[in-house]
Amino acid sequence: MTTALITLLPGDGIGPEIMAEAQALLDDLAEQEGHEFVLQKRPIGGAAIDAVGQSLPSSTLAACRQSDAILLGAVGGPKWDDPEAAIRPEQGLLQLRQELGLFANLRPVRPHPALADASPIRPERLAGVDLLVVRELTGGLYFGRKLELTNLAEDACRYSTAEIERVVRRAAALARTRKKHLTLVDKANVLATSRLWRRITTALIEREFPDLRLEVMLVDAAAMHLISRPADFDVIVTENLFGDILTDEAAMLSGSMGLLPSASLGEQGPGLYEPIHGSAPDLAGRNLANPFAMLLSVAMMLEHSLGLADTARRVEQAVEQCIDAGQTTPDLGGRLGTREAAAAVRQRLADANSKREHRVEIHPLRARALAASNTA
């Protein structure tokens, strides 16, 4: 049994709808497995701008800091899109990542065979694709010095050795548990920061992870290879903006933006878990959004922040079974709404868990006696 304080940040657009399903899933799991999940909901993004005039209210940040894990829906939408606006919803998310030191963003991509037709990539190229992008999340162009004049603007890109080493170490440790193949994606033929990434990464892998195969690849080539031979990747490590772009591209391998979860982790402290898709304002409030990326983000949280890897696997399996059975939202070819697709996942979990309970409830000696009486 696990006790955890979890902060829920529904955010904007479809965020609240998919968060409601995450909450229902956590309530079910707590009851089935005897955990105590204390859930506290706080505003972020556009919703927080509307409520208190800030995209990351200090009370939201404080709640996040004291929790064991954080779940986020999505932020942003046309209502707050005015480029002249002083405060934007996205700033709240970026500030949260930075304040909590969440430098490693894990974005796994494992296309489901039943969805090969939903992907714009040819099915034979998708066979065996199982990759993990580790995106640096608190540095680079996102957080560099900015200059914004009427006719001139500048975004500085800057990385230190320490920033590179900590995220490469995290990616390398993950590669060690997988196929031991790490690809560094950079633009070392043009960018000074990329040349630093390459030098530091090569030395670190040689020194600390000699059992790994390190490959270096320019980002333009990587964009091409992700489409032409995606199965050749295992773990990709890259800087912030390249990771942002490549993970939207990689999402299309799995057929829908509505399927990919992510985890943002720091050295210690709570992790932040969120789908990689946006707030999809066109789908908001219509019971149309795919809830699976959110539910799979819950699974990543169970594994990485709450030490419940087995429970995480069961959630993943329940989602996979729903996909196999065509119990999906329209983006994956199904006919279910957000609520119904999520309920189908919970139903499968409940079924699987009641079977498990039967197994553990019967004492082994009693089971033996039962078996004997059955065969007698």
Residues that bind ligand IPM (CB under 6 A): 76, 90, 93-94, 244, 276
Please confirm, yes or no, whether 273 is among the known catalytic residues: no
By beta-carbon proximity to Mg ion, the closer residue of 244 and 320 is 244
Please confirm, yes or no, whether 117 is among the known catalytic residues: no
Residue nearest Mg ion by beta-carbon distance: 244
- What phi and psi values does residue 282 have, to the nearest 5 degrees? -65, -25
Q: How far is the CB of 135 from Mg ion (least distance, A)?
A: 9
**From the list Mg ion, ligand IPM, none, partner contacted by residue 90 (C-beta under 5 to 8 A by kind):** ligand IPM
**From the list Mg ion, ligand IPM, none, partner contacted by residue 93 (C-beta under 5 to 8 A by kind):** ligand IPM
**From the list Mg ion, ligand IPM, none, partner contacted by residue 306 (C-beta under 5 to 8 A by kind):** none
Please confirm, yes or no, whether 282 is among the known catalytic residues: no
Q: Choose, by CB under 5 A, the member of 12, 17, 239, 244 that binds Mg ion.
A: 244
By beta-carbon proximity to ligand IPM, the closer residue of 290 and 311 is 290
Given 12, 68, 186, 244, which residue is catalytic? 244
Please confirm, yes or no, whether 50 is among the known catalytic residues: no
By beta-carbon proximity to ligand IPM, the closer residue of 76 and 258 is 76
Which range of residues in 155-163, 238-246, 342-350, 359-367 is near Mg ion by CB under 5 A? 238-246
**From the list Mg ion, ligand IPM, none, partner contacted by residue 96 (C-beta under 5 to 8 A by kind):** none
Q: How far is the CB of 4 from ligand IPM (least distance, A)?
A: 24
Please confirm, yes or no, whether 248 is among the known catalytic residues: yes
Given 211, 220, 282, 310, which residue is catalytic? 220
By beta-carbon proximity to ligand IPM, the closer residue of 264 and 353 is 264
Does the protein bind Mg ion through residue 136 (CB under 5 A)? Answer: no
By beta-carbon proximity to ligand IPM, the closer residue of 141 and 173 is 141
Active-site positions read 142, 187, 220, 244, 248
Interface contacts to Mg ion, rule CB under 5 A? 244
